[in-house]
Amino acid sequence: MGKPLKVGIVGCGAIIAQYLANFRKLNDIDLVAVADLDPARAQAVAEQYEGVRAVSVDDLLAADDVELVLNLTIPAAHAEVALKAIAAGKSVYGEKPLAATTEEARQVLDAAREAGVVVGCAPDTVLGTGIQTARKAIDDGLIGAPISASATMVTPGHERWHPNPDFYYQPGGGPLLDMGPYYVTALVTLLGPVVSVVGAASHTRNERTIGSGPRQGEKIPVTIDSHVTGVLTHASGALSTLFMSFDAVKSKSPNIEIHGERGSLVVPDPNYFDGDVQLFSLGAEDWETLPVSAGYVDSGRGFGIADLAATPAGSEPRAGGAMAYHALEVMESVLESAHAGSAVRITSTVERPQRVELTVLTENVDALQAQEAAS
């Protein structure tokens, strides 16, 4: 459109700092207003960001100069806030997950389609140079036809550092729904949509002890599966194995590995935007680190909104609602399969998003120049 996208933020919790830092670097984003149920938090944000006003949630949704609402509320409120924004004629971009359930997520997508607005959703980490360089390696045939993948996330539990970790051990929490969006979205970006899943799940402790903050030493109940394993069958025929745990201690395995007929890739942590991609080719003697060759350089949270703003009208954004819905259904279905003891078919699908060519969206071109010199 040739002009910045005007954005209003609902929810001024800790995560907003990362978005604010990147909005300052993105010429295509113009933050105009912030709102929070706690007016003081919104006012504190407005005071540190020039040209931004603190308003009520209702006033932000009604504002004529807000074109897109960035929804940074808690997951339980994602659908409610998104639906109100859509009803006000605004496009929406939300933190993961799209909604607490696929039923609520479907309501959001249906409402957006009827209103003619756009839905985007984190994680946009898959748009960074880490996942996108791996994607280009697959597209270029460096590993041949993909056969399988593994995705591993191991931590002994967020209660060790989080002062209020109750949510992680209640319905809607757990390692898969908390961290799975990063891994499932990366796997779909790399290998395409999923058509069926098989899952298994368990938990080793019925309570956890908070390790920091004013509630240190308090015990909280565990009412969800805290260790989840799943096998995803992609439409391409590739098989991905998920290993998500709040029970185990540590893993030396790479975050994601992709295996093909002629080689294997080590893919960096999908919770981050960059990182080295390593290739072991058939007949090679050792791993090689691939040069950065695709993705948004020096990117961070909020780049998905800039990508959405640049998406042609009528096209689905790379970090769009369709991808977020598909990832949510995959995760829900893994848990359903774990409890039912049988495979579950995935009813949704999504186009494998177009690769991000090596792109600088900010004025900081040093990183790109360094990579070009190295290659």
- Residue 314 half-sphere exposure, CB side, CA atoms within 13 Å? 0
Taking the C-alpha atoms of residue 12 and residue 19, their distance in angstroms, rounded to an integer, is: 10
Contact 10, 72 (CB under 8 A): yes
Query: pLDDT in tens for each of the 375 residues of the chain?
Result: 468 999 999 999 889 999 999 999 999 999 999 999 999 999 999 999 999 999 999 999 999 999 999 999 988 899 999 999 999 999 999 999 999 999 999 999 999 999 999 999 999 999 999 999 999 999 999 999 999 999 999 999 999 999 889 988 988 889 999 999 999 999 999 999 999 999 999 998 999 999 999 999 999 999 999 999 999 999 999 999 999 999 999 998 889 999 999 999 999 999 999 999 999 999 999 999 999 999 999 999 999 999 999 999 989 999 999 999 999 999 999 999 999 999 999 999 999 999 999 999 876 444 444 444 454
| pLDDT for res 365 | 42
Amino acid identity of residue 193, one-letter, is P
In order of start, what are the domains of the chain with their CATH numbers?
A: 5-125+300-327 (3.40.50.720), 128-295 (3.30.360.10)
323, 97 in Cβ contact below 8 A? Answer: no
Torsion region of 313: left, alpha or beta (phi above 0 gives left; psi -120 to 50 gives alpha)? beta
Strands (E), the chain: 5-10, 29-35, 53-54, 68-71, 91-94, 119-121, 146-154, 194-202, 207-209, 219-221, 227-234, 239-245, 256-260, 263-267, 278-281, 288-289, 344-345
Q: Which of 230, 47, 87 is nearest to 149 (CA)?
A: 230
Residue 372: predicted pLDDT:
42
Q: What is the pLDDT of residue 75?
A: 87
How many C-beta neighbours within 10 Å does residue 339 have? Answer: 11
Give residue 363's pLDDT. 60
Write down the pLDDT at residue 268: 96
8 Å CB contact between 294 and 358: yes
d(CA 275, CA 269): 7
- 359: DSSP letter: B
